[in-house]
Structure 1
């Protein structure tokens, strides 16, 4: 088998010059492309965020008690936190609040990682309940966008009454680029 081909100084310069002269694909600064080939799917296959986009990474968020006045320190049962659907809604509402602090919206979310614990009341992960909560924030009249998403069943979360934790990545074209 032949070894590597070594180019002389002039041939190497010519190869580099040709590569630099070739047109690069036209990519708009800060452009976000959502890839969804199956219109019936509730999530994207992918999201492409080009250089220059304003990107925000939201740490994993947990749900709040069903009674907003109840401090977490007083929660003593899963019933006070709700089922997977209710906890998903609560968690996504917290993400929405975090995004709003920096001028982002749920329509800017391009990726979610969802960690779901089995609900001991039903003995399994409630994927349908999680999707029902998800559908209240994505693919709606208020927010027709959806997001790329990974969902993981986990053995446990940071507290005994949490069934879900979600982290998010949001991206938007830089302000003033319109």
Structure 2
């Protein structure tokens, strides 16, 4: 199963691109951190990313979603990965839990994800939400940390520049088509 990661800074439009890919018939896996934040906020915790155990909850949900995908036929796109969780630790200046580093090592060793990661670039602005309270300047710093983290781990980044959602999705579909023909050819 070719499993591709979509990543980028918060508010870059990853989820909109993921929705387009889903409508185009691809399997998709939702981002874990946003769902963990939403649940914790619904439980009365306004800034769950500041609480101990946040990284663990995100990683647990990411693992659960990986296992739920099993080995589907065809391409699957993941909105973020445990490498993004490591980038979040670096951004928040938190020590990365050993089990997070072990999970990333396992995923790389098993080649669970394709080596090419689709890096969805910022749109030039950010809209805050209950879960996304980051300034545009801070989102650019976070984007850079994501880039460096993925490269440190050994992934190749393919830029998906700011553009209308259908154009961004077409960029990804084209690259996936090229990768699939290289594998079979």
| TM-score normalised per structure 1 | 0.32
Q: Which protein has the bigger helix share? A: 2
**Higher CA-based Rg:** 1
* Higher normalized contact order (CA 8 Å, seq sep 6+, divided by chain length): 2
The structure with more strand, counted as a fraction of residues: 1
